[in-house]
């Protein structure tokens, strides 16, 4: 089935490269740096067939120009003046097939206004649904709101949370242990969270990525997806010293708390 591998870049980025077994054409997601991708392709006897982009931040697009110097390939991404290399601009509900994988495009603004995610339902080419979500949803966390508002970001996360439980979540940073430490402050009695901390720490001790995650695991242990949980609400209200209880406000309180954690 579909092979998806992380290529490490910078301090904690993962540039996801996927291809079909038995083929040489690969796609890279959010190539912030070209050289690690070029090295990976050469080491694995692969060629670049396409580029997927989720948003305009430099650590997600900084390697595109150098990759295009070596490979003349389509670049899929949000319509944005900040990503001039995009040849195939995408919006909500668009479908795009890349290397025989059909992706549904989801607009998920909040981290940036033009942020999109790519969701591939289960098909003959992969055993489980796949989500490339950039910096919107992280393992046990979510992205900072550089351009959006709490209701906007909350809505985007709810859109992702509604995907099938078995969906594999490929985000782009190894922030998991830091996020789990914050999640424990918000949900100290969450048994699933305590189990996850042990499991993820074991991976990191072995030098392994904590990703992919899954929608089911995030619903169980990610406080940003549990803004209606009574204990999360109570702790958020206590933190913000406010009586407002609607989920978007609770989300905003959690995000502010995490920003200063």
Contacts of 70 (CB under 8 A, 6+ apart): 38, 48
Known catalytic residue at 246: no
Q: How far apart are CA 56 and CA 58, in angstroms?
A: 6
189 is catalytic: no
Question: Hey, CA dihedral for 97, 54, 169, 245, is it positive or negative?
Answer: negative
**59 flagged as catalytic:** yes
Selected catalytic residue, list 19, 56, 60, 115: 60
Q: Choose among 85, 91, 90, 89: nearest CA to 34.
A: 85
Contacts of 237 (CB under 8 A, 6+ apart): 243, 244, 245, 250, 253
**CA-to-CA distance for 66 and 60, rounded, in angstroms?**
13
Is 55 catalytic? The answer is yes
The yes-or-no answer on residue 72 being catalytic is no
Catalytic residue among 135, 189, 205, 256: 135
H/E segment holding residue 197: helix 191-205
Question: Which is catalytic among the residues 19, 56, 57, 115?
Answer: 57
The residue among 67, 65, 60, 74 whose CA lies nearest residue 29 is 60
* Active-site choice (19, 55, 56, 115): 55
Single out the catalytic residue among 19, 56, 111, 115. 111
User: Coil, strand or helix: which one is 239?
Assistant: helix
| Under 8 Å between Cβ of 129 and 4 | no
* 198 carries an active-site annotation: no
Which of 30, 33, 56, 59 is the catalytic position? 59
Partner residues linked to 6 by β-bridges:
16
- Assess whether 88 carries a catalytic annotation: no
Contact indicator for 220, 192 with CB cutoff of 8 Å: yes
b/e string for 223-248 if b means 16 or more Cβ within 10 A? bbbbbebeebbebbbeebeeeeeebb
* Catalytic residue numbers, as ranges: 55, 57, 59-60, 111, 135, 173
């Amino acid at each position: 089935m579909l092979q998806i591998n992380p290529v490490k870049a910078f301090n904690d980025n993962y540039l996801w490269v996927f291809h079909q077994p038995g083929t040489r054409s690969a796609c890279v997601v959010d190539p912030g740096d070209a050289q690690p991708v070029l090295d990976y392709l050469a080491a694995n006897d692969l060629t670049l067939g396409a580029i997927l982009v989720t948003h305009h931040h430099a650590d997600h697009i900084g390697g595109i120009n150098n990759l295009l110097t070596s490979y003349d390939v389509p670049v899929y991404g949000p319509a944005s003046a900040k990503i001039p290399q995009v040849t195939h601009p995408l919006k909500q509900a668009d479908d795009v097939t890349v290397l025989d994988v059909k992706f549904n495009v989801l607009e998920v603004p909040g981290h940036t206004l033009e942020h999109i995610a790519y969701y591939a339902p289960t098909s003959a080419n992969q055993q489980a649904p796949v989500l490339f979500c950039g910096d919107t949803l992280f393992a046990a966390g979510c992205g900072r709101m550089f351009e959006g508002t709490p209701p906007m970001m909350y809505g985007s996360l709810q859109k992702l949370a509604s995907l099938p439980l078995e969906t594999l979540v490929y985000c782009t940073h190894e922030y998991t242990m830091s996020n789990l430490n914050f999640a424990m402050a918000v949900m100290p009695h969450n048994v699933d969270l305590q189990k996850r901390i042990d499991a993820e720490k074991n991976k990191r001790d072995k030098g392994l990525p904590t990703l992919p995650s899954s929608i089911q695991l995030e619903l169980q242990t990610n406080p940003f997806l549990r803004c209606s949980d009574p204990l999360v609400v109570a702790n958020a209200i206590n933190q913000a010293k406010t009586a407002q209880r609607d989920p978007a406000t609770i989300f905003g309180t959690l995000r502010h708390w995490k920003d200063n954690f």
